[in-house]
Structure 1
């Protein structure tokens, strides 16, 4: 999953649609998966307060987009001249 829009990123985005944070686990981003799942499920659990549910929905949408546009490991090459 090194390039944006790769098949792995599409699979991760689809995983995030059905279970928030699962796509991040597929990509190997464990902390992002845990935080996303906690925030989304916490927001959805407080649906009667409206605002947390909206925030949970926005974080859910963000997680789908972020998984789809993930660029992977960035390698920086430094040349000694």
Structure 2
């Protein structure tokens, strides 16, 4: 990805709206994608316990912001 706010970052953020971690995967960041996906899917699966669902919601929003503001230093 080129820089923060680039078209690639916007596309990645939109991907994260539909499935957490997908935007990081599009950016080529496998570990971040796995962490966001596991925490969010696990938390949403335990929605009846309330607290895991809240944590999953926070991680979902964090994954969107992370994809949108990612800057590749490589």
Class of the TM-score when normalised by the shorter of the 2 chains:
over 0.9
Number of residue-to-residue matches in the alignment: 74
Mapping 1:1-81, distance limit 5 Å: 1-74=1-74
Runs of 4 or more consecutive aligned structure 1 residues displaced over 3 Å after TM superposition: none
Q: CA deviation at 1:73?
A: 1.9
Assess if the C-alpha contact under 8 Å between 1:43 and 1:53 holds in 2.
yes
User: TM-score, normalised on structure 2?
Assistant: 0.96
Q: CA deviation at 1:2?
A: 2.1
Larger Rg: 1
Q: Which 5+ residue runs of structure 1 have no aligned equivalent?
A: 75-81
Q: CA deviation at 1:6?
A: 0.2
Give the aligned CA root-mean-square deviation in angstroms: 0.8
d(CA) in 1 for partners of 2:33, 2:65: 14
